Chains A and B, each alone.
Chain A
Amino acid sequence: AQRVTQPEKLLSVFKGAPVELKCNYSYSGSPELFWYVQYSRQRLQLLLRHISRESIKGFTADLNKGETSFHLKKPFAQEEDSAMYYCALSGFYFNKFYFGSGTKLNVKP
């Protein structure tokens, strides 16, 4: 069965510290993995797609098929990174997203 697991509900770090938000998935086919971010009182926004392999706002994520993980990382957290982060999985051919339960990132000054 398809599933996305984000084990941490809340992650608190100090400004300038490294951040890693964990995401593990289970999927029988070839998945597409995404990270979405929701800042306070704003809509969900696409942050990263594994296929594009780009870095957005200093965040990167690498798909590890062996460990079925897609962890989101940033070397130096900023206060403006405080938000809710959702990992999502989609089938390669179909637009049906499975979202994780989300991790709230709190970056303290």
Chain B
Amino acid sequence: KAGVTQTPRYLIKTRGQQVTLSCSPISGHRSVSWYQQTPGQGLQFLFEYFSETQRNKGNFPGRFSGRQFSNSRSEMNVSTLELGDSALYLCASSWRTVGGYTFGSGTRLTVV
């Protein structure tokens, strides 16, 4: 059974650019969440989708957005990148409506 797949693994972008990260959940999982991991702030919740609907959103600016497709694959987009957006972005999926996440390996975004 394939795990949670995130692409790309690494990304380098310039300030002001935008970026799209992709997440393919485990087959059958309908809940997909995104987290930002940094050395200073740790793991912070970005948003969660279930059946194409955003159910929860963390305290991030509107530059951070996401969506989920009918096949449960999810994308997150960050516009007008800032240096502080450099982080490991983790996607996690679950078959349940709550809890028991399986995490992907993450996309490491570096903004220069």
Contact = CB atoms under 8 A, between A and B. Distances in A.
Interface of A: 32, 34, 36, 43-46, 49, 51, 86, 90-102
A100 B101 CA distance: 16
Contact of A43 (B31, B48, B97, B106): B106
Contacts of A94: 48, 55-56, 98
B58 A96 contact: yes
Would you list the 4 A-B pairs with minimal beta carbon distance, nearest first? Answer: A99-B43, A44-B103, A96-B56, A101-B42
Given A44-B90, A101-B42, A102-B42, A95 B33 contact: yes
Given A95-B48, A95-B56, A96-B58, A34 B43 contact: no
Given A43-B105, A44-B103, A45-B103, A95 B98 contact: yes
Contacts of B102: 46
B61 interface: no
Nearest to A93: B98
A98 B45 contact: yes
Nearest to B44: A99
Contacts of A102: 42-43
A79 to B, nearest CB: 24
Contacts of A95: 31, 33, 48, 50, 55-56, 94, 97-99, 101
A49 B110 CA distance: 33
